Amino acid sequence: MTSFFDKLNISIDQNNSLLCVGLDPVIDKLPKHLRTSQTPLFDFNKAIIDATAEFACAFKPNSAFYEALGPSGIEQLKQTVDYINQNYPNIPTILDAKRADIGSTNEGYTEYVYDYLQMDAITLHPYLGSEALEPFLAYKDKGQIILCRTSNPGAGEFQDLLLDGAPLYEHVAEKVRDKWNGNNNCLLVVGATYPSEMKKIREIVGPNMIFLVPGVGAQGGNIEETMEAGLGLNSRGLIISSSRDIIYAGSDEDFAQASALRAKETRDEINKYR
């Protein structure tokens, strides 16, 4: 099986893109003609995937939007991932799930994301430490994406607390660099809404570590500032994720074309600063 990192390099080259398309569908926001389908989330995702695949380096469904519908939502998430794996095998899938439990419990989550869903990467909370996350970290070919500096307005409540003069999020970056990344399979979540923090984190972890960057588009993060702050080795090192701005670019029967256009625009805007 091709690793997350190999897939990502292929998709970046193939599509000349650092753009990740977030697949976060909410039934009430879907085009009206899809809402009465038996599988509205999958039908919507399928159209978005086909329309945006040539502009994307990754797809990132957020588990919350599927869990909200119970078993049917999980089934549609699985259909979505299967569809990507079958039709776009070089585009990696990231489950934005922000999981983390004690070690024996995390085995249930690795079964969910890697064995059942067959995804390539997952987002993880750092609070329980690396010992607890070992079941994830042991998957060498998968991407383990640790929350470092999140994109939300109140992110600083704990992440900015100072320890020896440095905020907590910098300590997370240092620990991941020095200890968690033994299998060379860790990434960090760093929100586009905090470019100066991103710059600092890039200095700490060096040019090789990849950042998953939420917060452009609906959340207001600036692409130019993000690229200046975070770009890594060989004009890579960033996976810039946009969800609502792309998937809801249109609302009529031609919604997918609108999403394709917005994805292309966003990819091209990113590439202006590579």
Give the span between the Cα atoms of 141 and 149, in whole angstroms. Answer: 24
Q: DSSP string of 98-127? A: EE---HHHHHHHHIIIIIIS--SEEEE--T
Helix axis angle, 40-52 to 71-87, nearest 10°: 20
CB within 8 Å of 221: residues ≥ 6 apart: 151, 191, 192, 193, 195, 213, 214, 215
As a whole number of angstroms, the distance between CA 222 and CA 47 comes to 27
Q: Is 40 in the site for its own copies (CB under 8 A)?
A: no
Return d(Cα 210, Cα 94) in angstroms, integer.
13
With binding defined as CB under 8 A, does residue 129 bind its own copies? yes
Binding mask 222-261 for its own copies (x = CB under 8 A): ----------------------------------------
Active site residue 98: yes
The reply on whether position 175 binds its own copies by CB under 8 A is yes
In the bound complex, what is the minimum distance in angstroms from residue 246's beta carbon to its own copies? Answer: 15
CA 191 – CA 197 distance, rounded (Å): 9
Token pair in block for residue 188: 């960090």
CB nearer to its own copies: pick between 98 and 199:
98
Strand-pair partners of 123: 145
Binding to its own copies (CB under 8 A) within 194-223 occurs at 214, 219
The only residue of 7, 46, 99, 200 in contact with its own copies, by rule CB under 8 A: 99
By CB under 8 A, which span of 35-43, 93-101, 205-213, 220-228 interacts with its own copies? 93-101
| Helix, coil or strand: residue 182 | helix
| Surface-to-core class of residue 178, CB atoms within 10 Å of its CB (0-12 exposed, 13-18 middle, 19+ buried) | exposed
Q: How many residues bind its own copies (CB under 8 A)?
A: 61
Going by C-alpha positions, the residue among 91, 128, 94, 103 that lies closest to residue 212 is 94
Out of 11, 17, 144, 151, the residue judged to bind its own copies by CB under 8 A:
151
The correct pick among 84, 119, 147, 238 for binding its own copies (CB under 8 A) is 147
From the list 10-18, 69-77, 205-213, 246-254, the region that binds its own copies by CB under 8 A is: 69-77
Closer CB to its own copies, 111 or 254, in the complex: 111
185 part of the interface to its own copies, by CB under 8 A: no
Spatial separation of the C-alpha atoms in residues 148 and 264, rounded to whole Å:
28
> Of 98, 175, 199, 264, which residue is the catalytic one?
98
What CA–CA distance (Å, rounded) separates 109 from 102?
Answer: 11
CB of 78 or CB of 177, closer to its own copies: 78
> What character string, x for contact with its own copies (CB under 8 A) and - otherwise, covers 3-32?
---------------------x-x------
Q: Give catalytic residues, as residue numbers.
A: 98
Binding site for its own copies (CB under 8 A): 24, 26, 62, 64-72, 74-75, 78, 96, 98-103, 105-109, 111-112, 115-117, 125-132, 147, 150-159, 161-164, 168, 171-172, 175, 214, 219
